Chain A
Amino acid sequence: MSSLTAKPENKNSAVLARVREPDRDRIVCRFTEGHGELLRFSAGVFSPILCPRPLKASSSDISLDETRISLKEMYSKYVMHLPREWRHAVFERVDELFSEDEWEEDESQPNMGSWETFLRLLVFLKLKKLPSIGFHNGYFSGVWVHSDIRMTIVCRPFDHIEWVCSRDGEGEREVTAGDAPLHRMRALLQSYNDERWLYD
């Protein structure tokens, strides 16, 4: 018996496959939902491939419990690159955003791709301070406020970032906005004196 991992076929589970050949005339394939491991069966050769844990896709029939757990499981993939003390704060915020009390029935389920981009952003920017975490229409955002500047970074799936920055000065408000791939963010934020509000 061998085992390997693959992308889940169904909405919220990975598939564990076990393949047996009890005799030459019969092939038995077993696929087990749940714990994330499985195998590739090709030309009679079983080759194990690696095992990312299942991502829970956005779907209206996923409970808030499952949502909270999926978001925290995703955080665990990045936790070794983030300040230790953030985990508790992030989990508290996740519990708050997706609590029965706060949740509106017509709100979109969180997009896991957005959450992953958000976590990748946190690691990429090497921040010293955790931003406020926002959630709207299924997407996550980070919000920084520092005296006259307010920066909102909205995270879309696949490392796509949108930002809005407002600055108050001399009785006027200046608002700029844009979008860019995640890997460009450090360079782009420099034009907003990011040292002042991002790393302070």
Chain B
Amino acid sequence: MAYKQKYDKPPITEAVAQLRLSEPLDDTSFDRVKSALRDRHNSVEPIHQFTTQYDLQNTSVSNEHEEIGCKFVSNDGAENVTVTKSEITPSRLAPYPGWERFSKMANSYFDLWNDASETSPNINRIGLRYINRIDIPYRGNPNLRIEDYFSVSVNMPDPEGTIYDYLIRMVVPTSKKSFKAIIHAGSVKPHLVGHGSFLLDIDIFCTPFNGDYSDLNDTLDVMRGLKNEQFESFITDKTRELFT
């Protein structure tokens, strides 16, 4: 199925790529990664993990806290990369600069991560996630029919029943066997006056990843195609009109 892939006003609020390792980086490699990223960013935020364990047999609770990584943010706040010893997650907020620039940005972080590692990282999972917020004008009618804009909807006992809020999560196959998609579709807080806002969050992932680092670029290209297929399959022409 052929789709128009480039919209004038894409509803992408955030694009995220992620690599996850089967074995975490050692301390020396991780310090090298952080140091290299620090050179490229002014703003660094530590990431803390708080763990609470409830032991139901002995009715005890224990708490732990550790700094597990950092988030580096660009000056315009639009580009950031989060790193822990086992994950690297570059992300780009709107305005989406297009696939060429986004993948170049993500790959530059992955390369930096790869170069700083003592040994070539053993990739366990690759993820490519696009979070879309679709703002739909009420145009005088405060009741939006979900099925006019999305191909996935909610079946109510009363077909004309009102829904104030909904969220659907599904894991679905894609047209390539090794990749699956996690989809979140639902309503969100309206961002504009006189509009309803809807989430279409598409997370394409591959795990376990059987290739090596040199296959990464091609794999991301394939995932981007799958993401587009999923996106187009979940929206209608009425929705497409909103992006042009």
Contacts and interface: CB of A to CB of B under 8 A. Distances in A.
A28 B51 contact: yes
B167 A47 contact: yes
A196 interface: no
Contact of A80 (B94, B169, B184, B194): B94
A76 B193 contact: no
B235 interface: no
Given A50-B186, A65-B43, A77-B13, A124 B192 contact: yes
A198 interface: no
A81 B8 CA distance: 11
A192 interface: no
Contacts of A78: 191-192
Interface in B124-171: 131, 133, 135, 167, 169
A183 B138 CA distance: 13
A48 B184 contact: yes
A81 B9 contact: yes
A179 interface: no
B77 A70 contact: yes
A50 B45 contact: no
A68 B77 CA distance: 8
A176 to B, nearest CB: 23
A41 to B, nearest CB: 12
A87 B93 CA distance: 13
A154 to B, nearest CB: 17
Interface in A160-200: 182-183
A13 B73 CA distance: 14
Contact of A34 (B47, B55, B133): B47
A84 B54 CA distance: 51
A35 B82 contact: yes
B192 A123 contact: yes
Nearest to A50: B199
Given A51-B131, A66-B43, A26 B193 contact: no
A13, A66, A79, A80: residue with the most chain B Cβ atoms closer than 10 Å: A80
B95 A79 contact: yes
Contact of A33 (B9, B48, B169, B184): B48
A50 B201 contact: yes
B169 A27 contact: no
B193 A124 contact: yes
A80 B243 CA distance: 9
Contacts, number: 121
From A53, A84, A159, name the one whose CB has the most chain B CB atoms within 10 angstroms: A53
Contact of B56 (A26, A34, A183): A26
Nearest to A26: B55
A133 interface: no
Contacts of B50: 30-32
B76 A91 contact: yes
B192 A76 contact: no
B118 to A, nearest CB: 26
A77 B26 CA distance: 37
B193 A31 contact: no
Closest 8 CB pairs of A and B: A72-B77, A69-B77, A76-B93, A34-B47, A73-B77, A76-B94, A124-B193, A31-B50
Interface of B: 9-11, 13-14, 42-43, 45-57, 68-69, 71, 73, 75-78, 82, 89, 91, 93-95, 131, 133, 135, 167, 169, 184, 186, 188-189, 191-194, 199, 201
24 contacts: A25-B55, A25-B56, A26-B57, A28-B51, A28-B52, A29-B51, A32-B50, A33-B46, A34-B82, A48-B169, A48-B184, A49-B167, A50-B188, A51-B131, A65-B43, A69-B75, A69-B76, A73-B77, A76-B77, A76-B95, A81-B192, A120-B193, A123-B192, A159-B193
